[in-house]
Chains A and B, each alone.
Chain A
């Protein structure tokens, strides 16, 4: 009966992970990251990766190629006129077969499916302590605000965390295929987030030092694991060489630009306070796990968490809470260690207290977690980002086929939903707005400005020498409440006394 209840609880959790994103998820090509992943998936699926843009080659202004690189992309350093993604390829490679099989909706389903994998892998990892810890950890992980926030959008955090947790679960299994499976999962995880490579080393060290194994068994396990994960590492190197010209280059720029020792202090205070806010200070109990659980298991878990934190301490400093997502690979492990410690301590008091203690501890993680998730608007992301598909669909429906949209924030969504060419205005030289508009016309395209009301001031300021930058004529289309599409040619008409009609999309 108890086993049936635990199974039902786990099944219900998995079902919720599939249903909740379907209702509240924001699976759109909106911001830089999401467009980067979905566009790259489409490129992988089509097999056409580096496609030169003729306008980028012909445009006369400085850094022309940069202006034709939409959100989440930059000019290719190897193929003139082509763009390359700034994000890693792993998630897009996972999405591509789904896209081929079932279209765009299927592509986005990768995220909730990875969410289920993450929860099941947490269950398996927790079962290394006990079945109860497994189920409680799985449900607590599924209720984590960090997990739920990322489950609602097409980002790589949940897939990366899923494969790392799977790697940990496989590495800690006693089965003969565990190291190989762990290696393959680590390889996929590295393909999704190459900067998390050190986490693979933590698992490797665990396999090489695991107790209750002979030296030969440890060496064999370590070798099999390394071979499995090497596939992912080699793939990362090959893709980076193809995109960025060097196996060690990434889309995010030079290491020196994004990592600095001065970031360690500010990041440590931010991440630790964000983590305590999201997962409650109770997770600090994980630090006591070596006293209660198997030392090797606890050491593996704590080292994994420390490595995850350590990777991001010198990284750029962010102010927004949502960047605690970088720690998501550590969250399932942290929860398993916390609940494992609670169960172990309760067992010392008396075996009959274990179930109660676990239930109370899990509730103390789950209830505040869900409350924080609501507070952080995870379930409102769909409405907050709906403007991206809506704007893109309006462009597709209302602008001519030869429209070239000068935009910035919407450069990804316009390309994704409307298939129109874009020019990123905030990469355009300040002195070139009028001449760029003329060039676009001479090239056979009809220029439009697409700006949200928060961007208009920056647009005016950037091109203050241009009359077009005043945006003082009626927009051709206004998409509530914040996006306007201006036709530059309408300004002359308006000043002559005509009133070009505005179409309102509410």
Chain B
């Protein structure tokens, strides 16, 4: 009799724990959709390395519970067989708690990674909490609260220009969890060179500088003595900038751009980093792309 009583007590304890856990669940986990997501690419296709702009639009369902500011947008790019190719997860520029009745719209540039894949790419997106991976239910046809919102083509490389990272750049790096996301740190002075694509051309550069202790930096991009652009880099912010290039002096002529960053820093001398890295670092560049307009 006592054994039975003990077992019943244990079962009751487990059930109570489950009920408590259920009660602690995030409000976003509710079964009713809290809103909808729409994503529109600005182009039907892009070649590897090229930028492609997307317009994101979130619309909240009237009366839905407030959303947490911890929520991020997950963006998964999958091939036609459903295999994940790369991701572009990001924190929405307007905190979700401030999303009201009016739709929230913003534009974001994604660079197509340099991969061998060409063909149709499906964009699957949604909202999730990065700390525990919980996804929010939205309206629309879903698979595990992931919503197919757009598609575009990865085109064969044809129009792009190869940009060489010359003197002043450190070696390429990547994080194990994002194998297609690569970057190079600049030093204080670094050089980019490429063949001018002719006509009106522009350069896209995606960069950041994640160390708060470094403070605001100033980046100058020059072709010889000519100043092409000046960028102000605040720590922790990702920038995608477009820089118009000067007209090519001749077909196929080579262009050399000097990148100057101030101030630079040495991670080993920044106490908060606890690093032994003795390199002089400027900014972290993820993508550089050059093409005719």
Say whether A and B bind each other.
yes
- On chain A, the residues within 8 Å of B63 by CB distance are none
CB distance from A501 to the nearest CB of B (A): 6
Shortest 3 CB-CB contacts between residues of A and residues of B: A454-B171, A453-B171, A474-B162
Q: Which of A113-121, A126-134, A438-446, A491-499 contacts B (4 or more CB under 8 A)?
A: A491-499
- CB pair B166 A481 closer than 8 Å: no
Cβ of B53 within 8 Å of any chain A Cβ, yes or no, is no
Assembled-state Cα–Cα distance A136/B129 (Å): 47
Majority secondary structure, B binding face: loop
Given contacts A480-B180, A501-B157, 17 further A-B contacts (CB under 8 A): A383-B176, A453-B170, A454-B170, A456-B165, A457-B168, A461-B167, A472-B193, A473-B162, A480-B179, A481-B179, A482-B171, A497-B252, A502-B157, A503-B116, A504-B48, A504-B115, A504-B116
Check: A452 CB closer than 8 A to any chain B CB.
yes
> A362–B266 Cα gap in the complex (Å)?
40
Enumerate A429-480 residues with CB–CB distance to B below 8 Å: 452-454, 456-457, 460-461, 470-474, 478, 480
Instruction: Say what secondary structure dominates the interface of chain A.
Output: loop
Query: Which residues of the other chain, B, contact A23 by a CB distance below 8 angstroms?
Result: none
B160 interface residue per 8 A CB criterion: yes
The answer to the question of B195 belonging to the interface, with a C-beta cut-off of 8 Å to chain A, is yes
In the complex, the answer to whether A460 meets B166 with C-beta atoms within 8 Å is yes
Q: Pull 24 A–B residue pairs with CB atoms less than 8 Å apart, ordered by A.
A: A383-B176, A453-B169, A453-B184, A454-B170, A456-B165, A457-B167, A457-B169, A460-B167, A470-B164, A470-B193, A472-B162, A472-B164, A472-B166, A472-B254, A478-B114, A481-B174, A495-B252, A496-B252, A497-B251, A499-B160, A499-B162, A502-B114, A504-B115, A506-B115
- Given A454-B171, A473-B162, answer yes or no on A506-B179 (Cβ-Cβ < 8 Å): yes
The reply on B80 being an interface residue by CB < 8 A is no
Q: Which residues from chain B sit less than 8 Å from chain A, CB to CB?
A: 48, 114-116, 157-158, 160, 162, 164-174, 176, 179-180, 182, 184, 193-195, 251-252, 254
Q: Give the number of residues in A that approach B within 8 Å (Cβ atoms).
A: 27
Whether A471 lies near B195 (C-beta < 8 A) is no
- Of the residues B158, B174, B252, contact of A480 by C-beta under 8 Å: B174
How far is B171's CA from A383's CA once the two chains are assembled, in angstroms? 17
> What is the minimal beta-carbon distance from B47 to any residue of chain A, in angstroms?
10
From A470, A474, A496, A506, contact of B180 by CB (8 A): A506
Nearest-CB distance from B49 to chain A (Å)? 9
The answer to whether A494 and B162 touch across the interface, beta carbons within 8 angstroms, is yes
| Distance between A265 CB and nearest chain B CB, rounded to angstroms | 23
Query: Known contacts A481-B173, A481-B182, A506-B179; is A499 also within 8 Å of B157 by CB?
Result: yes
Distance in angstroms between the alpha carbons of A454 and B193 in the assembled complex? 17
Within 8 A of B (CB), among A15-39: none
CB distance from B278 to the nearest CB of A (A): 10
| Closest beta carbon of chain B to A382's beta carbon, Å | 12
- Known pairs A472-B162, A472-B194, A506-B115; A453 contacts B172 (CB<8 A): yes
Whether A494 lies near B115 (C-beta < 8 A) is no
| Interface pair B166/A470, CB less than 8 Å apart | yes
